[in-house]
Amino acid sequence: MTRVYGTGAYDFKRHHVAEYPVGDKPVEAKPGAALPSSITLSEIQRDQLTVIAAANWSRVGDAKEKKPAFDPELVKRIYETELRVKEGERKTVPLQRVMILEVSQYLENYLFPNFDAETATFEHVMSMILMVNEKFRENVAAWVCFYDRKDAFKGFLGRVLGLKSERELGIAEKTNYLVFMINAFQSLEDEIVSETVLRLASFQSWHSLSYGRFQMELGLNSDLIKKWRRMVKREAAKHGESFNPSTALEVQFLRNLIEEFLEILDSKVLPPNHGVNGEDQLLDVNGMEHVDDACVLYCERFVEFLIDLLSQLPTRRYLRPLVADVAVVPKCHLSALYRHEKGKLFTQLVDLLQFYEGFEINDNVGKQLTDDEVLQSHYDRVQSFQLLAFKKIPKLKELALANIGSIDNRNDLTKRLSVLSPEELKDLVCSKLKLISKNDPWSSRVDFLTEVMVSFFKRQQSQKEKINALPLYPNELIMWDESLVPSINYSGEGCLALPKLNLQFLTLHDYLLRNFDLFRLESTYEIREDIQEAVPHLNACINNEGETAFRGWSRMAVPIKEFKISEVKQPNIGEVKPAAVTAEITYSISSYKAQVRSEWNALKEHDVLFLLSIRPSFEPLSAEEGAKASVPQKLGLQYVRGCEIIEVRDEEGTLMNDFTGRIKRDEWKPPKGELRTLTVALDTAQYYMDVSNTAAKGAEDVYGTFNILMRRKPKENNFKAILESIRDLMNEYCIVPDWLHKTFLGYGNPSAAQWTNMPDLLETVDFKDTFLDADHLRECFPDYQVFFVSPDGTENMDPRPPFRVRLPKTIKSSTNALAGNKKAKMSSMSDVPIEDSDKGNEKFVVEAYTPPDPGPYPQDQPRQNSVRFTPTQVGAILSGIQPGLTMVVGPPGTGKTDTAVQILNVLYHNCPSQRTLIITHSNQALNDLFEKIMQRDVPARYLLRLGQGEQELATDLDFSRQGRVNAMLVRRLELLSEVERLARSLQLPEDVGYTCETAGYFWLLHVYSRWELFLAACNENKNKQSFVKDRFPFKEFFSDSPKPVFTGESFEKDMRAAKGCFRHLKTVFQELEECRAFELLKSTADRANYLMTKQAKIVAMTCTHAALKRKDFLQLGFKYDNLLMEESAQILEIETFIPMLLQRQEDGYARLKRCILIGDHHQLPPVVKNMAFQKYSHMDQSLFTRFVRLGIPYIELNAQGRARPSIAKLYNWRYRELGDLPYVKQDAIFKRANSGFSFEYQLVDVPDYHDRGESAPSPWFYQNEGEAEYVVSVYIYMRLLGYPANKISILTTYNGQKLLIRDVINRRCAPYDFIGPPSKVTTVDKFQGQQNDFILLSLVRTRFVGHLRDVRRLIVAMSRARLGLYVFCRRSLFEQCYELQPTFQHLLQRPDCLALNFNETTPHTERHVEETGPVHLVSSVDEMISIYQQLYAVKFHQYVAPSILQTSMSGQDPMDADIPVSADGVPDDTPHVSNSELEDNGRKVDSSVENHSNGVTEMETSLDDAHVVPESNSDQVRMEE
């Protein structure tokens, strides 16, 4: 059977996704340098480190050149002179120096190959630590290079753990060491890492607990006592009786780290006189001049380290008692840094640590605690304390007799404990309660002892309470908090107060809470960017009356005429916040032109708007003040609040855009006047906080200050619905099917949810039209002796499809996870599934049956599949139709969509009563899938497409809810007319076809009864050949069939035809029965809802639509049994999770039976715009990728049918065994060469053009003029040869380059019809999921590789072309990049100058692809320009076209003609135009570079491109209007 891969650690990293996209950062400057990013390639080449690398380990250039022997002194010298930083700086390494070393492969080629655990120096080990850290910072595969010498790597980890005993580390070295440990504990899927580091957080570490804590923990769980005794016996047997386990490295490692951290926190961050004095009074905590920034960074990193360990179960289980024993959180709370201005991030991290320390989970069994269990545990704890106090501490009698509610908060508890003397308090905490050791150095401090008591006995806010109290809209305090919502230039050096999405989660609540926080902050970042873009255009000022006035205007923001709170409802029982708060907002649209006015008029119910309070300073800020001012201060922004529209009214008070049915269609009138009044719902949690703040502190009334209303683009404004969905899920119980629960959280057996381990398997599967013939079936099950039988059980010697397969028991064993680290080397072309010695003898029984006659009319014939599925695809289909989790990895061009469609088709026929939900990331993918489903044998009435993209379906049928309802009503009339015709043919009254109900009675009384009588008569007259023809009761009705129904020559044949006719009639009446509901339900909404919840068997939507409408689906009682998700590696984790939960539980159980995820984790992940959420929080990790990392079995499709086999080799190394379908080797189009080119693919080295390589007119807006000119010149050359424009696409890795290429095309190509623009000019990220025959690819960068180091981006770039791929880049840069070597080594086997064949001047050639013909190597951009000019002159000499003939060298660079130049001479591609100019002209800039594809024009406007939304994950473009 099909191979199913369980990736294990080794497998995933060997075939490693560079985990998270790499953004490019300007490197830091040396002291005195003007700009960090001003370093040039020549400077890098002249750099001392580059020279040393070239001499000692770099393999660029002459690879055969012998390098000097390894020199430990060189490593020491590099470490001491290049990798150390001054003490006290808030950075741990000189970033630029580390980047240069890491890019030169210092680790792979020098440090690790020459590493010996016995002899390596301290500097050698630290250098390796720094290189690994840098790889993690860049988010590229860090452990891959260690796999060839696993024993040496274990030795390296051993040296790392013992490094602190070798010598005293400086504070920067300690931080680097800590970062390495963080990275190691974040890589638990790597066996070679986890084997070592998990020992540090094992049960053994409890040897270091204080005796009291140890007793307490064992007393809470009796099972641990037995486990402890067994462990002690094993240790004694292994090391001898005299061995003292508490001295072992694994036992003391984490405790020593924690104690070192507490010492630094207490004595190094702030000098003693800035801490707490003997009288427990805080002294000058805001004295900023003495803070040691390096120590602050260390403390932040250490708290991050503890959070990571406590937030995953394998490390949390035994570490949490240790953290509690040392009282880390109370000590952090009392530290001077916690209250210091510079300790804001530290404070947020400590609060997060406290949350995870008290997380609502049973650590030993990993079970989530319910609210009741948490509360009961709290009550039991306080009650037992009260009992102890009553018996043994007379002074606390009042506390002992008080009710729990009056003592489980900080103030009351502190007050009641204050009656004890310091000695009594110490005795209580250390001896009686044993919360900490009496030997703890802090144990004599009263404030510390009190803090420990408060932490232990205070009632914590539950997760549900926490999330329900949070406002869903961000406010100004969160928006500009850099520790929560970092700015775009996050470099990955520091840590943030954010949760991380890693492999495992503690509970479903933990999963939801982390995703809620991250999704909320990611949307906050996008809202912040929109505010910063819209507000400056308003040009706010203070007028003569001292009030705020606006001299400008903004498309997205309008001044408010009037704002008033209209209603505040009483709180619900048990809550303090109001049940609802509504307000009315009046504004005018008089100043807008028609286009913008129509956008404001399009506002509708549920749209989210933002209320801004802007109050600029009276005097403009000076340059010095402006430099220090925050963004809100610069904008004069005081407050930001969100709201949701309830209704919109025009100047006359008429309701606008009402979709609730209150206004009927024929009563609709266009809106009147220019004033608009909105009724909006405010966030009740935020309102309560604001009002409480005003009442308690006398703060300003926020709601009396709003003067601006801001809207956002509808597609980007979906965040509130998704956050509400997550919050609703938090308040539900048992939300994931039991069979998926543990797998989802990342625990237990990775293959537990695979179909082979599931109950209720389909023992017999009807594959319908999956197999084209018997040989096809045999090919797909080569390891079994296939035995064909007829329905009666006899052997079938001439089997023909369709086939019904009885699955043998051993088929299960062939689909188990293949352990990644035991995987034998496999042929890259093998289609043969895993072999099993005992399978060859087992019979694989296949029933070849004749399907019943479908009916006499052409429309009765089922549609047939024509795709010859590969054995692997058949394995995926088999897995997909069985219950459980199916994961299919689909490399480029391997037929993911065809496989998905066949799964749906076979599933529908095998389980006709079940309903399937289809989810995709994009509307395009959903439409592709849907169009193919319509070509299969699934009735159109069972298909439904929800969402906005339905109108783009290339079909005459309307599959939206309304379209399906209309189709059902039309079909009802057609069917009733058929019933009338049938009644006429039977000479009965025609009024039986009046309604569906009367038709149903007619069926029972007249049709079915006649059929039964006919069957009875047939049983007695089987020997009469013409009996069926003579006596068939509905012969007249079928007289209009295209061919005669009966021949009269054979009773059997006629009987089969008669049954086919009856089947046609039965289908007619069955459809009428389904139409009956639409007859009874009168309103359109009811009909549409019935269709969605009852009628449709296959419902399709995007993940965004699912998240937005979850509440509606639940209210309607939407149900489904199966979930199929396409593009699942491109969908955010939470947006994959929500579609699993669009239905209510049934008796406490989830109905979902199958979950089929199809995607490719080797291609680009979901888009996350803020780099910090990508790099630090791993928010761009999809559920699909996480499952692969966890080692969950998957099937990888292994035959591509897109590209020439030679082009496929550029990316098939990334996949296990990706081969080629036969037709890409045999078809003539793949065998013929590309006319005019010597090679079908090539890397073209582009040197500096006009002494310049890459440039960045604005940050992250990278351009390369030489590559742009070269690419466009080659495009013109191809067009002049006769290549069709719609077969050529130009791709690049940066937005800046895309706009530059479009600009060149606008001037060089667009004015000439015979050239014109190509099919598309776009970024690699935008082109994912698409393809074209010829791809011209510009890689742009010349200094640092940038985000192409993410191998996933490289795979997408290389796999878009079918016939020709030409890559334009700087060879010397990309060939030395370790991650990209498999592809670039392949590319560089050919000349790096473009090779042309001048003998071919037409688009067609008979030359074989492996023949080059006469080769002309193009030496430069200018030569390429002159080549196409000459070709033009030969072909079109009768025309005169001076501008296309002009060279770039004619005195002035043609690129300078239209692009403004900035002060430093760099072309400025971000012209500063007025808002109105941009509104009017923005859509004209690219009007000539439309995307022509098969006659469909897709307009890509520069207005969208030039603004803040980046097309590639790391390609951040910030352009001001």
For 1192-1236, write each residue's pLDDT tens digit: 999 999 999 999 999 999 999 999 889 999 999 999 999 999 999
- The helix (run of H) or strand (run of E) holding residue 678 is strand 675-682
| Pair type for strands 708-710 and 557-568 | antiparallel
Q: Classify 1282 in phi/psi space as left (phi over 0), alpha (psi -120 to 50) or beta.
A: left
- The helix (run of H) or strand (run of E) holding residue 446 is helix 446-457
Residue that wins the pLDDT comparison between 131 and 2: 131
Cβ count near 1411 (within 10 Å): 10
pLDDT (mean) for 706-730? 88
DSSP state at residue 853: P
Read off the pLDDT band of 832 (50, 70, 90): very low
SS3 1323: strand
Distance, CA of 1211 to CA of 178 (rounded, Å): 36
Asked whether residue 151 carries a pLDDT value surpassing 80, the answer given is yes
Asked whether residue 836 carries a pLDDT value surpassing 50, the answer given is no
Give the per-residue pLDDT at 54. Answer: 85
Residue that wins the pLDDT comparison between 483 and 1493: 483
The CA dihedral of 1376, 1379, 1383, 1389, to the nearest 10 degrees, is 20
pLDDT (mean) for 1510-1516? 38
Asked whether residue 142 carries a pLDDT value surpassing 80, the answer given is yes
Taking only the tens place, the pLDDT of each residue in 1004-1031 is 999 999 999 999 999 888 888 888 888 8
- Percent of the chain past pLDDT 90, that is, above it, reads 45
Taking only the tens place, the pLDDT of each residue in 633-656 is 888 999 999 999 999 999 988 888
CB-based burial label for 1215 (10 Å; 0-12, 13-18, 19+):
buried
pLDDT (mean) for 941-945? 88
Distance, CA of 1102 to CA of 673 (rounded, Å): 38
Q: Which two tokens stand for residue 792?
A: 């009666």
Read off the pLDDT band of 23 (50, 70, 90): very low
Give the per-residue pLDDT at 663. Answer: 61
Give the per-residue pLDDT at 1186. Answer: 93
- The helix (run of H) or strand (run of E) holding residue 1416 is strand 1416-1417
Asked whether residue 1452 carries a pLDDT value surpassing 70, the answer given is no
Asked whether residue 1501 carries a pLDDT value surpassing 60, the answer given is no
Taking only the tens place, the pLDDT of each residue in 349-378 is 999 999 999 998 988 888 888 888 999 999
Residue whose C-alpha is closest to residue 1517's, from 1381, 1354, 1253, 1326: 1326
Quick check: 196 and 202 in contact, CB under 8 A?
Answer: no
| Pair type for strands 5-6 and 818-819 | parallel
Q: Give the bridge partners for 1365, in sequence order.
A: 1241, 1335
Quick check: 1172 and 498 in contact, CB under 8 A?
Answer: yes
Positive or negative, the Cα torsion across 1408, 1411, 1416, 1420? positive
Cα distances (angstroms) measured from residue 1253 to each of 1422, 1464, 1470: 15, 15, 19
Distance, CA of 93 to CA of 135 (rounded, Å): 13
| Minimum mean pLDDT range among 533-547, 1056-1070, 1355-1369 | 533-547
Taking only the tens place, the pLDDT of each residue in 1290-1340 is 999 999 999 999 999 999 898 888 899 999 999 999 999 899 999 999 999
Residue that wins the pLDDT comparison between 1145 and 1228: 1228
Q: Which two tokens stand for residue 365?
A: 């069994």
Taking only the tens place, the pLDDT of each residue in 79-133 is 999 888 877 677 888 888 888 888 888 998 899 999 999 999 999 999 999 999 9
Q: Which two tokens stand for residue 894?
A: 């391997």
Quick check: 214 and 206 in contact, CB under 8 A?
Answer: yes
| Minimum mean pLDDT range among 37-51, 412-426, 953-967, 1305-1319 | 37-51
Residue with tokens 């480029």: 892
Quick check: 580 and 702 in contact, CB under 8 A?
Answer: no
pLDDT (mean) for 170-190? 92
Asked whether residue 657 carries a pLDDT value surpassing 90, the answer given is no
Give the per-residue pLDDT at 19. Answer: 29
Residue that wins the pLDDT comparison between 1501 and 703: 703
Give the per-residue pLDDT at 1199. Answer: 93
Q: Give the bridge partners for 677, in sequence order.
A: 586, 649
Cα distances (angstroms) measured from residue 873 to each of 3, 888, 899, 1216: 11, 9, 6, 15
Read off the pLDDT band of 1402 (50, 70, 90): confident
Read off the pLDDT band of 1515 (50, 70, 90): very low
Read off the pLDDT band of 876 (50, 70, 90): very high
Q: Which runs of consecutive H residues, i.e. helices, occur in 700-848?
A: 719-730, 738-745, 774-780
Asked whether residue 883 carries a pLDDT value surpassing 90, the answer given is yes
Both ends of the chain: CA-CA distance in Å? 59
Give the per-residue pLDDT at 819. Answer: 34
Query: Across 542-551, 812-821, 1388-1397, which has the greatest mean pLDDT?
Result: 1388-1397
Distance, CA of 559 to CA of 561 (rounded, Å): 6
pLDDT (mean) for 240-255? 80
Query: Across 288-302, 639-653, 1449-1463, which has the greatest mean pLDDT?
Result: 639-653
- The helix (run of H) or strand (run of E) holding residue 765 is strand 764-766
Read off the pLDDT band of 5 (50, 70, 90): low
Give the per-residue pLDDT at 4. Answer: 62
Asked whether residue 624 carries a pLDDT value surpassing 90, the answer given is no
Asked whether residue 39 carries a pLDDT value surpassing 90, the answer given is no
Which are the contacts of 417, defined by CB distance < 8 A and separation ≥ 6? 396, 399, 425, 450, 453
Q: Which two tokens stand for residue 1438?
A: 């009768």
Read off the pLDDT band of 1049 (50, 70, 90): confident
| Minimum mean pLDDT range among 39-48, 312-321, 666-675, 1390-1399 | 39-48
Residue that wins the pLDDT comparison between 27 and 391: 391
Q: Which runs of consecutive H residues, i.e. helices, occur in 911-1043?
A: 923-933, 961-985, 996-1002, 1009-1020, 1027-1031
| Minimum mean pLDDT range among 892-901, 1164-1173, 1484-1493 | 1484-1493
Residue that wins the pLDDT comparison between 794 and 36: 794
Give the per-residue pLDDT at 1511. Answer: 38
pLDDT (mean) for 1050-1078? 91
pLDDT (mean) for 1497-1513? 34
- Chain-centre distance for alpha carbon 1290: 26
Angle at Cα 1323 formed by Cα 1322 and Cα 1325, nearest 5°?
A: 130
Taking only the tens place, the pLDDT of each residue in 1256-1295 is 888 778 999 999 999 999 999 999 999 999 999 999 999 9
pLDDT (mean) for 1338-1365? 92
Cβ count near 797 (within 10 Å): 7
Give the per-residue pLDDT at 734. Answer: 66
* Average pLDDT of every residue of the chain: 83
pTM score of the predicted model: 0.86
Q: Which two tokens stand for residue 679?
A: 């009724």
- Percent of the chain past pLDDT 70, that is, above it, reads 86
Residue whose C-alpha is closest to residue 1422's, from 1459, 1394, 1461, 1458: 1394
**How many residues would you count in the chain?**
1521
Which are the contacts of 502, defined by CB distance < 8 A and separation ≥ 6? 186, 308, 311, 312, 1178
Cβ count near 890 (within 10 Å): 26
Residue whose C-alpha is closest to residue 1405's, from 1286, 1274, 1288, 1237: 1237
Give the per-residue pLDDT at 295. Answer: 92
Residue whose C-alpha is closest to residue 814's, from 842, 789, 841, 835: 835
Residue with tokens 């290339």: 954
Quick check: 1481 and 1487 in contact, CB under 8 A?
Answer: no
Give the per-residue pLDDT at 333. Answer: 93
Q: Which two tokens stand for residue 639?
A: 């407050």
Give the per-residue pLDDT at 33. Answer: 32
Quick check: 1099 and 917 in contact, CB under 8 A?
Answer: yes
Give the per-residue pLDDT at 1466. Answer: 35
- The helix (run of H) or strand (run of E) holding residue 550 is strand 548-550
